[in-house]
Structure 1
Amino acid sequence: MKLATKTFVVTGAGSGIGRELTLQLLQKGANVAGVDINSSSLLETGRVAGLGEDRFKAFDLDITSQEAVNRLPGTVTKHFGTVDGIINNAGIIQPFKPVYDLSIEDINRVMNVNFFGTLYLTKAFLPLFLQRPEAHITNISSMGGFLAVPGQTLYGASKAAVKIFTEGLYAELMETNVGVTVVFPGAIATNITENSGLGKPKASGDAKMKPLAADKAAGQILTAIERNRFRVVVGPDAKFLDILYRFNPRYATQFIQQKMKSLLKP
């Protein structure tokens, strides 16, 4: 898919990968409808982009509200005239706690943002995409969506749901004009911990686990869209663990458990 002149909806556009996706799409000549629950962050993305509303339009939206999401396609098309793709990037992590200590409220919040938000937006825009000559849906899962990470078990479950949902969607849309890509990022240098209301992240102390820069992650995701790839694993840690998990799932699970021990200590 050629990105120039296309209109994309990007969720979580106020920071991190979402902001980088937005900026790089704009640089490639696309238009972007930026979606985020944080209006000030969205305004900052627009300021950094330095373009008028004819190219970037901010939409302050809670993606867990199905009613609000269902109104978005009409609002976006009213502004841009059409929509050609969506990148469901918005997501949060859970508190670094074992399942036993997680509240049902924490669990529901993670599932509502990560899975149901992705589902609502995909369902809302899919009828429009099926009418376009070419369209694309990109859903951001996670390394935690194929490998259990202790202390992030429910986060991983929500991202595993995104994985299966996206792969099923790919199969259902194979004979249509709509491409589908699922993305598995590893550790990326973003402020997801703070955006999730969990304060500053603890350092792992492992130089091999250094996060990938958000702009590099965004670049790899956009390349995957341009090439209509089914699946993309982003970051050296995610690529290593993807291979390890395929070869020996139990050992991979034990390996990541050892890496996470320090983060789970009070």
Structure 2
Amino acid sequence: MKVQNKVVVVTGGGNGMGRELVLALLSKGASVAAVDINASALEETLALAGKNRDRLATYTLNITDRALVDALPDQVISRFGAVDGIINNAGIIQPFVRLKDLDYAAIERVINVNLFGTLYMTKAFLPHLLARPEAHITNISSMGGFLPVPGQTIYGAAKAAVKLLTEGLSSELLGTNVKVTVVFPGAIGTNIVVNSGVKMDLQQENRRDGPTPKVLAPGKAAQIILEGIENDRYRVMVGSDARLMDAIYRLNPQRAARFIYNQMSALLPK
């Protein structure tokens, strides 16, 4: 789906990759509804939109609140007259601890935001998307959604669920006007750690074995994702690390898991 003159909803639009997606969509001539739980972050996105701000509407919303999400499509349609696409980008990571040390409050929060937030948005907007001449749903999974990362087991489980949710939805929508894309970002230079309320031990970070992983700029990640949307791609790998680990995992899942363990295990508390 070409995004010019389309109306696209982006969750997590207040910062990081979500903000870059909003700005890139605007630059391509789309109108955008940016959704985020952080009102001040949305104000910053609005300011950065510059001359395109007349095509940007912001909605301060917790996507884990199903009632608020259910009311959102009417608000967006009231503002723009229609909705043609959604990008479910909002997500948080968990504290870098083993499952045995992760409390249920953190478990539920990670699953609610990453999985149920995506599900609620998809369910709320799908009837409206099906009514459009063409439409698109994009769900952001993660490299951690197909590759186990120690200390991010629940995050990975939620993102793996997003992967299968998206792929199942794609199959259900075959023959309709709605295309579906699942995205697997690798390491992106965002503030997801801070925005997730996760504290990092710098001494543990410095003990990480091997070279420091290269991170992709959020703006470049947004460009890759939008290219995938405009070409109706089934899946999009974002970053050389995601592409490499996808290839290794397909050939030897256990080897891939051990490689990531060696890279990431230093982040776990002793």
Same fold (TM over 0.5): yes
Q: How far did 1:199 drift?
A: 3.7
Match of 1:244 in 2: 248
Contact 1:8 1:31 in 2 (8 A): yes
Q: Counterparts of 2:90 and 2:11 in 1: how far apart (Å)?
A: 5
Match of 1:151, SS state, is: coil
- 1:119–1:131 CA distance, 2 compared to 1 (3 A): same
Q: How far did 1:156 drift?
A: 0.1
Q: How far did 1:154 drift?
A: 0.2
Match of 2:92 in 1: 92
Q: Counterparts of 1:103 and 1:169 in 2: how far apart (Å)?
A: 31
Q: How far did 1:201 drift?
A: 7.4
Match of 2:111 in 1: 111
- 1:113–1:65 CA distance, 2 compared to 1 (3 A): same
Unaligned runs of 5+ in 2: none
- 1:205–1:35 CA distance, 2 compared to 1 (3 A): farther
TM-score under structure 2 length normalisation:
0.96
Q: Counterparts of 1:10 and 1:257 in 2: how far apart (Å)?
A: 33
Amino acid at match of 2:117: G
Does 2:261 correspond to 1:257? yes
Q: How far did 1:66 drift?
A: 0.2
Match of 2:57, SS state, is: strand
Q: Counterparts of 1:106 and 1:229 in 2: how far apart (Å)?
A: 33
Instruction: Report the aligned-residue RMSD.
Output: 1.3
Q: Counterparts of 2:263 and 2:26 in 1: how far apart (Å)?
A: 38
Match of 2:233 in 1: 229
TM-score under structure 1 length normalisation:
0.97
Figure out how many residues of one structure are paired with residues of the other and give that number.
266
Identity of matched residues, %: 59
Amino acid at match of 1:130: L
- Which digits, 9 at most, give the CA deviation of each residue in 1:9-66, with x for residues without a partner? 0000000000000000000000000000000000000001114653001100000000
Contact 1:182 1:232 in 2 (8 A): yes
Match of 2:54, SS state, is: coil
- 1:201–1:81 CA distance, 2 compared to 1 (3 A): farther
- 1:263–1:5 CA distance, 2 compared to 1 (3 A): same
Q: 1:95-244 maps to which residues of 2 (within 5 A)?
A: 95-199=95-199, 202=202, 203=205, 204=208, 206-207=210-211, 209-244=213-248
Match of 1:212, SS state, is: coil
Unaligned runs of 5+ in 1: none
Match of 1:32, SS state, is: strand
